Amino acid sequence: MAALLNPVTPTANESTGGFLLRALSANGANVRELLSLTRGSTRRQILPEDAPLYEQLTGTPAEWFVRRIAHVRQGDHWPEIELFGTRWRDDWTLRGQYTQVCPECLERSAVARVEWDLMGYTACPVHRKLLVDRCADCGRALQPNRPAVDVCRCGAFLSRPDTPGQDADAGMLAWCQWLSKAVMGAIEGQTRPEPLLASFDGLSIDGWYRLCICLGGGVRALRGAHLNAACPWLDTAAVHEILRQGLEALRDVDAGRPLHIALGMGCGDSLAEQAVRGITLEDRNAASGLRMRLRLPSRWRNAKHVLHRQGDLFEGWA
């Protein structure tokens, strides 16, 4: 693959899709043309196997791409992904077909942050606003193959809609700030920041996210959505509200207070599922302990005997 005539250098906190979009638009090309030259063309996805091709195209080392592209693997009867130097459950981790941005950040630097790819990252801690997942001009969901990182496919520059409810919850801003530090630390091989709540120390990044989804009633809501190319995932505001409720419940549990919110009927089932499908041993134990502590019934019928990764059996023994 021929190198781009106008080289563009990525930043440390830039997403792969955002960097390629920025580099291609600076050279008069687009993502659709790029994917037609790679194996990702059939699914319109950026695949880790094509990292050497992206290196030839941009001059950026393939390792930079590999750590920022989801690598799907089949583990323990359910798919997992390797992403940002850590493991995640496959479902409800990434935004998928549609993206989200902070227009104020793009106006300042025109760089799409790596955390914006995550479903659980819903607000900008710098500007204290929800991320935007639709064009304010045409109203359509933001496509990853738009003309430029700050331009919609309709040709309008991305901006914040003039509607109420754009301010982010204070607790969620703290969550997004922690998530940003945790993700960048995983990418750079650094120590994870201090946990938001001491009672849940030791959880993986994915484990924190799953507990918030379970207690916020998000599992049933996410499964009820039509998650395909014709209908986008739950929008950023909806995910923000689910996680806000889940974090509030976790804070109550951590402080030994009665819950401020009523847990949904499927919360026990969701925690039971996480107790089996959690990425790490700590994730599974935390979900199981929460279900018993809150005395939540479980009727989850899809439980299977699981043999997790051998290394998981010895976590915390050293």
Closest CA relative to residue 186, chosen from 87, 80, 316: 87
What is the distance between the alpha carbons of residues 246 and 200, in angstroms, rounded to a whole number? 13
What is the distance between the alpha carbons of residues 168 and 244, in angstroms, rounded to a whole number? 10
What is the distance between the alpha carbons of residues 117 and 14, in angstroms, rounded to a whole number? 10
Half-sphere exposure of 95 (CA within 13 A, CB side): 24
Residue 296 phi/psi, 5-degree rounding, is -95, 130
Q: Residue 229's pLDDT is what?
A: 44
What is the distance between the alpha carbons of residues 97 and 309, in angstroms, rounded to a whole number? 30
Instruction: Give the tokens for residue 85.
Output: 């130097």
What are the residue ranges spanned by the domains of the chain?
Answer: 1-69, 170-314
Task: For 175-186, write each residue's pLDDT tens digit.
Answer: 999 999 999 999
Task: For 26-83, write each residue's pLDDT tens digit.
Answer: 888 877 777 666 665 445 678 888 899 899 989 999 999 999 999 988 765 678 899 9
Whole-model pTM?
0.88
Element (H, E) at 206: helix 205-215
What is the distance between the alpha carbons of residues 108 and 298, in angstroms, rounded to a whole number? 48
Q: Residue 225's pLDDT is what?
A: 61
What is the distance between the alpha carbons of residues 194 and 109, in angstroms, rounded to a whole number? 29
